[in-house]
Structure 1
Amino acid sequence: MKKTADILCIGSVLWDVIGRSASVMRQGSDVPGRITRLPGGVAMNIAMTLARFGLTPALLTAIGRDAEGDELLAACAARGMITDTIYRSDDLPTDRYMAVEGANGLIAAIADAHSLEAAGAKILRPLTDGTLPAPYAGLVALDGNLTLDLLAEIATGSALAQADLRVAPASPGKAERLTPFLNNNRGTLYVNCEEAGLLCQTSFATAPQAAAALLERGAARVLVTNGGDDAAEGDAEGGVIHATPPQVLVTRVTGAGDTFMAAHIAAESRGANRHAALAQALEAAAIYVSGDTPN
């Protein structure tokens, strides 16, 4: 029997190549460690966590018709995701992400999501060709690896006008791509303090300060994390609340924000109130960065 999607995950699905070392690293460091290749990308990381919480995500992304793409598609299906909504390109390679992490956190990362950007609006065809219900009115997790033009189209267009949009910037370098959602009072934005500062063209010492500023700038709803310090959630009606994440030994950081976002969505889908959903999301992210959950 064909599965029905509980949520659409729109954005990057690629191979993560991650080098991790237990040593403190700096520019030019050459240290022993482990190098892994795993399915990744913001949309994929969110989908994997949602699947672990019992939800069925459908992926809207671009994957090449190359050997890496075939392997990645199989990995998505094996993890319980709906893959017949994925755009397969004949002439674009499967995207990749590369990062190096040390004991002192993320040292450097490069996201090669050029194929996703080049595919553009083609990844949204399932919303208009009858593959998915239209207009789509369910949950949508969206990441900022799409082009600014396509994100603006999603923020203002009719295809997802009735959807419960949950939006993440993908990285601080792409934070300003979320501006259309601020300008149009659309969606729930999941950002860290640095990304909030880029959107507001300033800097913030705390997540509650950042959340309040984003709401003032036009955000409909926000969740702001700040590493091991308090995270905040807020909207215009309920104001801003905050909670402290559990203190754990950090063994990995790539994908932590995606885990937080997915766990928060899953908690709310089960009926958790805003305080409980924030607490559950922080706990899931803490477990993830401690290395106690699979990638």
Structure 2
Amino acid sequence: MPIAAFGAIHLDTIAHADRRILRETSTPASLAIRPGGVATNVARALARLDCRVSLAGRLGREAEADGLLAHLAGEGVDTGAIRRADLPSGRYLALHDPDGTLAAAVVDARITETLEPGALLPPTKAQEASGCWFLDANLPQPLLVELAEAAAGRRLAADAVSRAKAARLAPILPRVDLLFCNRAEAAALLGRDSEHDEGQQEPGDSGAEVATALVTAGAGAVVMTRGAAPVLLATRGGIDEISLTTREGAAAPAPRIVDVTGAGDALIAGTLAGLEHGLALADAVAAGMRAAALTLESPGAVAGTLNWPAIAPNG
């Protein structure tokens, strides 16, 4: 069945510097403008993974936004639910050091942050036909609540997006069948964000207790990333650690990082695609990790090498 994604639609400017980026001086770099935003990255990746997908969000009326709509449609994303407004389209600027790590980033998301209840409803025919709705926490909390209610009996997946936005999902957590987050976002969603700095955890803290707490709070299942460590999959049946493997199931080498942009979104898309292709949840997460690895090894948020045969389990 089709998948419907709701959330941020950005025009990304990605800079790759040829030396370490320093403050208060210019740095030689190559710049590229691409589609971006969590829901957009997930939708684009799903289209490459042989899934029918529609995207809902809001864009401005600039010529660049017209070009972005055409680009998305050309990639196989249904854009019929994208609204237009007189605000500037969302924009994201990322500065990457030569090793692919993110040195700094800024975002102008006013067009998404000001979406009001009712702005993305009623559902289009494509959304009505979708068996899974995916929400990203870039959307305001009242709209997230409204969409979770409108999802009715569909599978509902959600991404916490950031430590600052994760708590927006708290009212709908019991309705979320599959939650994607990192350790810091999980803590923020549980109201424990003062315990740790962003991305940090205390020695001996595997994150399992926090992931389990999210399930206890109502989430059906939690996929929690921990940097280079194996992903945690928490369900009511317990906790599993899922490492990066080849399609044959053997341990895979760590990816050679070119660009971290979109890796988490690729994990989401690969997991949802795996479920749509009939995989068990743990196998679907493993497929999502292979999608994330391909993305880390490629420039941009969606790897040109990404397709279903590249991440599906062999046999």
Could you state the TM-score of these two structures normalised by the residue count of structure 2?
0.82
Offset, 1:208:
3.1
Structure 1 221/199 Cα, relative in aligned 2: closer, same or farther at 3 Å? Answer: same
Shift of 1:33: 2.1
Distance 1:88 1:275 in 2: 38
Choose from 19, 40, 48 the match for 1:23: 19
Q: Which residue of 2 aligns with 1:147?
A: 140
Q: Distance in 1 between matches of 2:209 and 2:24?
A: 36
Residue number in structure 1 paired with 2:208 = 208
One of 4, 7, 11 as aligned partner of 1:11:
7
Q: Is 1:225 the counterpart of 2:225 in the alignment?
A: yes
Q: Which residue of 1 is the match for residue 296 of structure 2?
A: 289
Does 2:284 match 1:277? yes
> Per-residue CA shift, 1:35-68, capped at 9, x if unaligned?
1110111111001110111112111111122212
Is this contact kept in 2: 1:47–1:262, CA < 8 A? yes
Check if 1:138 corresponds to 2:134: no
- The equivalent position to 1:188 in structure 2, one of 160, 170, 178, is 178
Cα separation, 1, equivalents of 2:65 and 2:221: 35
Q: Name the % identity.
A: 32
User: Following the alignment from structure 1 to structure 2, what is the Cα–Cα distance between the partners of residues 47 and 122?
Assistant: 22
Residue from 255, 267, 271 that aligns with 1:264: 271
Partner SS for 2:35? strand
Equivalent of 2:68 in 56, 72, 95:
72
- Structure 1 unaligned regions, length at least 5: none
Cα distance change of structure 1 residues 260 and 28 upon mapping to structure 2, 3 Å threshold: farther
Counterpart of 1:97 in structure 2 is 92
| 1:83 has 2:79 as partner | yes
- TM-score, structure 1 as length reference: 0.87
Amino acid at match of 1:243: I
The question of whether the paired residues in 2 share the 8 Å contact of 1:207 and 1:225 is answered with no
CA drift at 1:29? 6.1
Aligned partners of 2:136, 2:279: CA distance in 1, in Å? 24
2:8·2:40 contact (CA, 8 Å) conserved in 1? yes
The number of aligned residues is 283
CA RMSD of aligned residues (A): 2.2
Contact 1:252 1:290 in 2 (8 A): yes
Separation in 1 of the partners of 2:25 and 2:290? 32
Q: Which stretch of the first structure deviates more once superposed, 208-217 or 256-265?
A: 208-217
* Other-structure match for 1:163: 154
Render the CA deviation track for 1:222-281: whole Å, top value 9, x for unaligned: 100112111011221x22111123411211112111000000000111111123112111
